[in-house]
Structure 1
Amino acid sequence: MDADPYRRKLHYRAHHRGTREADAMVGGFFDHCSAQWGAVEYEWFERLLDEQDVDIMAWALGTAAPDPAFTGPLMDQMMRLDFIVLPEGLSTHNS
C-alpha cells in the first residue's frame, strides 16, 4: 500500500468510478503510469477525475475529441489503452 495519502486518495478515486469499464480504464491508467508522474501530472489526473466517466472514456477511445484542458502527452498516453487489464473471466472476443 502506498504510504502517501494523496496517492492513496487518487488511487481510490481512480478505481471506484462506478462501472467496471471506467474502473479498468481510469484505474488501470493510474496504476500503469503514475509512478513516473510529477506534481504537474498528478494535478492533471486529479482534474480528470472530476470529469464524467462517459467523457473520459470517449476521449480515451477516440470517439470524442478531448476537452482542450486535457489534450497533451498524458491524454495521448491514455488513448493508447495499453494498460487495460480485464478481470478474469472477461474476454475481448465473443465466443
Structure 2
Amino acid sequence: MDYETRLKRLRFRAWHRGTKEADLMIGGFFDAHGASLSPAELDWFEALLEEQDVDIMAWAIGSQPCPDQWQGPIMERMRTLSYVPVAR
C-alpha cells in the first residue's frame, strides 16, 4: 500500500478505538505526530494499535508500567499528552 493510504488507514484506526478518551489520546497523538513518523515508527505504531486501549492509555499516563517492547522515543512522545485537545 502506498504511504498516503497507509497514513489514512492508521489515522482511521487511531481515531476509532471505541471510547472518546482513547480516540482523543491515540487519535490526537497520530494527528500531531503521524506524518513525521518514519516507516519503522509507523510499523511500531501499527503494532501498538493491536493492544487494548486501556493498556495503551495506562502506559501513556504512567498508571501501569510500560512493557519493554513499547518503551522508547515514541512512547515518550505519547507521555507528553500535549496533543490531547482540552476544552477551555
Q: Give TM-score scaled by structure 1 length.
A: 0.85
**Secondary structure of the structure 1 residue equivalent to 2:17:** coil
CA distance in structure 1 between the aligned counterparts of 2:37 and 2:5, rounded to whole angstroms: 16
CA distance in structure 2 between the aligned counterparts of 1:58 and 1:82, rounded to whole angstroms: 16
CA distance in structure 2 between the aligned counterparts of 1:84 and 1:16, rounded to whole angstroms: 15
**Secondary structure of the structure 1 residue equivalent to 2:63:** coil
CA distance in structure 2 between the aligned counterparts of 1:53 and 1:37, rounded to whole angstroms: 21
Structure 1 runs (4+) deviating above 6 angstroms are none
Larger Rg: 1
CA distance in structure 2 between the aligned counterparts of 1:19 and 1:81, rounded to whole angstroms: 17
CA distance in structure 2 between the aligned counterparts of 1:82 and 1:20, rounded to whole angstroms: 17
1:57 aligned residue: 57
1:13 aligned residue: 13
Q: Which has the higher contact order (CA 8 A, sep 6+)?
A: 2
| Unmatched runs of 5 consecutive residues or more in structure 1 | none
Q: Give TM-score scaled by structure 2 length.
A: 0.92
1:36 aligned residue: 36
**2:7/2:35 contact within 8 Å kept:** no
| Unmatched runs of 5 consecutive residues or more in structure 2 | none
Structure 1 residue 5, shift from structure 2 partner = 1.2
Higher percent of residues as helix: 2
Structure 1 residue 22, shift from structure 2 partner = 0.1
**Cα root mean square deviation, aligned:** 1.3
Structure 1 residue 79, shift from structure 2 partner = 0.5
